[in-house]
């Protein structure tokens, strides 16, 4: 409204005109005189230019949150320990099979029986040889007794003849003859004593051969060395058992499986024995597990480490050797201050956030910790309930004036 129009209104009876006041006239609208012109009463004043230029920025509060540090890995389900069952004797045919793939066996369970006919015949021959050796030993011992008695008698005769010669009642020839007979008896005793030693050696050899053939006979019964589940069977009826061939049976010891998973080189240092894990398999339920071993080496080609996760719980019964699985290993879990990952910026000056205090933006350096589900743990630099620009890459700078607003809560 121009100043001329104001004068015209005054000329038609408007009264009480003053700067910033109200012009009242019968039958006319109320007008307000503001600096820069007149406005109708009830119309809000136009915003000041500096107020209209302040941008609206979405901010979030620093809040406490349960944070989990998770390492993800993937690999194949494999036996914790595989046991190969080989025949302990060579050249015997397989006569009976008592176990098959999928069977769960205990330690000492009979798996197969090998032919023992040739060994039984061999045992009979060795038993006969053993009996002959023992008879020879008995004969040698009897000969020793006889030779010992003859040697003792010849020695007494020699001593008596020597005594008579000294008294002059026996000749020198008789003394010499008695001495020679004593010496001969002693020689025969020595000979039969050596014969007894030889007989003892023959008996020992025969008994060793007998023990060996009995051991071979026991080994014709192929038994499970440990408890577990049979996952492979190469033994067939009629085949000749040989240690050089494929194993007769393959067992998973105690039916225990584990996930052998590859993990990024940068994550290996965060893993430790005993950490809890959750395994995901295709078409199956989640399976709980625990880190059993972190292998010390890194593959030079793939730059990946290897972790072994033992499976636990009843859900593990549904796992099979060779399955593919993914694992989430919890390396740390705690309550801490957190912000959305979009609110944190990494640059040449380090990690920072845009903090809003009384409508003024300030860039603040921070230290971060766990990253979990789109959030970042704040260990230093901010306090709970601080207002932080939601998108650190927004077009605001340190010292800018903004009008902070928080996003509306999501409702179902």
Of 5-9, 96-100, 300-304, the least confident: 5-9
Residues 263, 325 within the same domain: yes
Q: Is residue 122 part of a domain?
A: yes
Residues 138, 207 within the same domain: yes
CATH code, 303: 2.40.30.170
Residues 126, 191 within the same domain: yes
Residues 345, 360 within the same domain: yes
CA distance 243 to 180: 64
| Residue 226 backbone dihedrals phi, psi, to 5 degrees | -140, 165
> Domain total for the chain?
5
Domain boundary among 285, 301, 334: 334
Tens digit of each residue's pLDDT (9 = 90 or more) over 346-391:
877 788 888 888 888 888 888 888 888 889 988 888 888 888 888 8
CA distance 364 to 406: 20
pTM (two decimals): 0.60
Looking at every residue in the chain, the average pLDDT score rounds to 81
- Of 22-36, 187-201, 220-234, 339-353, give the range with the top mean pLDDT: 220-234
Spatial contact of 56 and 400, defined as CB atoms under 8 Å apart: no
Q: Is residue 281 part of a domain?
A: yes
Residues 14, 150 within the same domain: no
Residues 209, 125 within the same domain: yes
Residues 163, 201 within the same domain: yes
CA of residue 322 relative to chain centroid, distance: 16
Residues 394, 343 within the same domain: yes
Q: Is residue 136 part of a domain?
A: yes
Of 4-13, 117-126, 206-215, the least confident: 4-13
Q: Is residue 170 part of a domain?
A: yes
Q: Is residue 51 part of a domain?
A: no
Q: Is residue 328 part of a domain?
A: yes
Residues 199, 166 within the same domain: yes
Q: Is residue 132 part of a domain?
A: yes
| Residue 155 backbone dihedrals phi, psi, to 5 degrees | -70, -40
Tens digit of each residue's pLDDT (9 = 90 or more) over 321-335:
888 999 999 888 888
Q: Is residue 175 part of a domain?
A: yes
Residues 198, 346 within the same domain: no
Residues 121, 133 within the same domain: yes
Residue 232 burial (CB < 10 Å; 0-12/13-18/19+)?
A: middle
Domain boundary among 251, 271, 301: 251
CATH code, 60: 2.40.420.20
Domain boundary among 334, 360, 391: 334
Residues 130, 209 within the same domain: yes
Q: Which domain holds residue 393?
A: 56-65+335-405
């Amino acid at each position: 409204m121009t100043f001329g129009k104001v004068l015209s209104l005054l000329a038609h009876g408007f009264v009480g005109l003053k700067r910033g006041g109200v012009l009242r006239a019968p039958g006319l609208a109320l007008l307000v005189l503001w600096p820069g012109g007149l406005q109708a009463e009830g119309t809000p004043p136009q915003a000041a230019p500096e107020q209209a230029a302040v941008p609206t920025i979405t901010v979030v509060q620093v809040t406490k949150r349960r944070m989990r540090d998770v390492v993800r890995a993937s690999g194949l389900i494999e036996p914790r320990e595989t046991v190969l069952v080989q025949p302990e004797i060579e050249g015997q045919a397989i006569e009976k099979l008592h176990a098959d793939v999928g069977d769960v066996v205990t330690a000492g369970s009979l798996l197969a029986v090998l032919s023992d006919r040739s060994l039984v015949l061999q045992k009979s021959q060795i038993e006969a040889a053993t009996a002959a050796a023992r008879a020879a030993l008995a004969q040698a011992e009897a000969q020793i007794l006889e030779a010992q008695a003859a040697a003792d008698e010849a020695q007494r005769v020699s001593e008596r003849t020597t005594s008579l010669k000294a008294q002059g009642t026996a000749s020198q020839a008789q003394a010499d003859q008695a001495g020679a007979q004593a010496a001969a008896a002693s020689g025969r005793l020595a000979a039969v004593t050596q014969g007894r030693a030889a007989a003892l050696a023959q008996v020992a050899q025969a008994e060793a051969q007998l023990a060996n053939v009995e051991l071979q006979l026991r080994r014709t019964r192929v038994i499970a060395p440990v408890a577990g589940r049979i996952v492979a069977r190469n033994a067939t009826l009629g085949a000749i058992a040989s240690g050089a061939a494929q194993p007769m049976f393959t067992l998973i010891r105690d039916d225990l499986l584990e996930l052998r998973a590859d993990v990024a080189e940068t994550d290996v240092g965060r893993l430790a024995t005993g950490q809890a894990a959750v395994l995901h398999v295709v078409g199956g339920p989640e399976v709980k597990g625990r880190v059993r071993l972190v292998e010390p080496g890194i593959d030079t080609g793939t730059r990946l480490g290897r972790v072994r996760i033992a499976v636990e719980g009843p859900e593990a019964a549904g796992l099979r050797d060779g399955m593919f699985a993914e694992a989430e290993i919890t390396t740390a879990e705690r309550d801490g201050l957190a912000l959305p990952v979009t609110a944190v910026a990494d640059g040449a000056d380090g990690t920072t956030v845009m903090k809003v205090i009384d409508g003024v933006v300030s860039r603040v350096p921070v230290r971060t910790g766990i990253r979990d589900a789109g959030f970042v743990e704040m260990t230093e630099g901010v306090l709970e309930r601080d207002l932080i620009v939601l998108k650190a890459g927004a077009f605001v700078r340190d010292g800018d004036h903004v009008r902070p607003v928080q996003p509306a809560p999501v409702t179902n």
